[in-house]
Amino acid sequence: MTLGQIALWGLVVGFIMSLVVITGFAYTTLLERKVLARMQARYGPNRAGYIPLPGRGKQERKLLKGFMQPAADAVKLFFKEDNTPAFADKWVYNLAPMLAVIPAILVLAVIPWAGDLPWLPEQYDYFAIVPGLNVAVLFILAVTSISVYGIVLAGWASNSKYAVLGGLRASAQMISYELAMSMTIIIPVMLANSMDLGVIVDAQKGGYYVFLQPIAAIIFCIAVMAELQRAPFDLLEAEQELSSGFNVEYGGMRFGMFFMAEYMKMVSFSAIAATLFFGGYRGPFVDQVPMLGFVYMFGKIFLGLFIMIWIRATFPRLRYDQLMSFGWKKMLPLAVLNFIVLAVVMVMAEEGAFDALQQAVLGIFG
pTM of the model: 0.90
Decide if 181 is inside a domain: yes
**Rounded (5°) CA angle 14-16-19:** 105
User: Does the N-terminal peptide bond of residue 232 adopt cis geometry, omega within 30 degrees of 0?
Assistant: yes
Q: What is the pLDDT of residue 220?
A: 95
Helix (H, G, I), strand (E, B) or coil at 127: strand
Name the amino acid, one letter, at 131.
P
Decide if 78 is inside a domain: no
Q: What is the pLDDT of residue 279?
A: 93
Q: What is the pLDDT of residue 181?
A: 93
Handedness of CA 35, 223, 232, 156 (dihedral sign): negative
What are the pLDDT digits (tens) for 203-248? Answer: 998 889 999 999 999 999 999 998 888 888 887 765 555 567 788 8
- pLDDT-derived band at 316 (thresholds 50, 70, 90) equals confident
Per residue in 128-166, is it b (16+ CB within 10 Å) or e — as a string?
bbbbbbeebbebbbebbeebbebbbbbbbbbebebbbbb
Residue 46 has pLDDT above 70, yes or no: no
What are the pLDDT digits (tens) for 128-167? Answer: 888 888 899 999 999 988 888 888 999 999 988 888 888 8
What are the pLDDT digits (tens) for 295-306? Answer: 999 999 999 999
Q: What is the pLDDT of residue 201?
A: 94
Helix (H, G, I), strand (E, B) or coil at 172: helix
Tell me, what DSSP letter sits at residue 54?
E
Residue 174 has pLDDT above 80, yes or no: yes
Residue 47 has pLDDT above 70, yes or no: no
Neighbour count for residue 302 (Cβ, 10 Å): 16
Name the amino acid, one letter, at 297.
M
Decide if 316 is inside a domain: yes
What are the pLDDT digits (tens) for 103-126? Answer: 888 888 899 998 888 877 777 888
Q: What is the pLDDT of residue 323?
A: 87
Q: What is the pLDDT of residue 365?
A: 66
User: Percent of the chain beyond pLDDT 70?
Assistant: 94
Task: Look at 12 and 250; give whichever has higher pLDDT.
Answer: 250
298's CB contacts (< 8 A; 6+ apart) are none
Domain of 204 in residue numbering reads as 92-365
Decide if 277 is inside a domain: yes
Decide if 296 is inside a domain: yes
Q: Are the C-beta atoms of residues 212 and 220 closer than 8 Å to each other?
A: no
Per residue in 53-64, is it b (16+ CB within 10 Å) or e — as a string?
eeeeeeeeeeee
- pLDDT-derived band at 38 (thresholds 50, 70, 90) equals confident
53's CB contacts (< 8 A; 6+ apart) are 60, 61, 62, 63
Decide if 295 is inside a domain: yes
Number of domains in the chain: 1
User: Percent of the chain beyond pLDDT 90?
Assistant: 35
Decide if 358 is inside a domain: yes
First to last CA, the chain: 59
Q: How far apart are CA 364 and CA 249, in angstroms?
A: 72
Q: What is the pLDDT of residue 248?
A: 85
Tell me, what DSSP letter sits at residue 326?
I
Decide if 62 is inside a domain: no
- Helices marked H in the chain — which ranges? 3-39, 69-79, 90-106, 136-157, 161-192, 197-203, 209-212, 214-227, 252-277, 292-314, 320-325, 332-350, 353-365
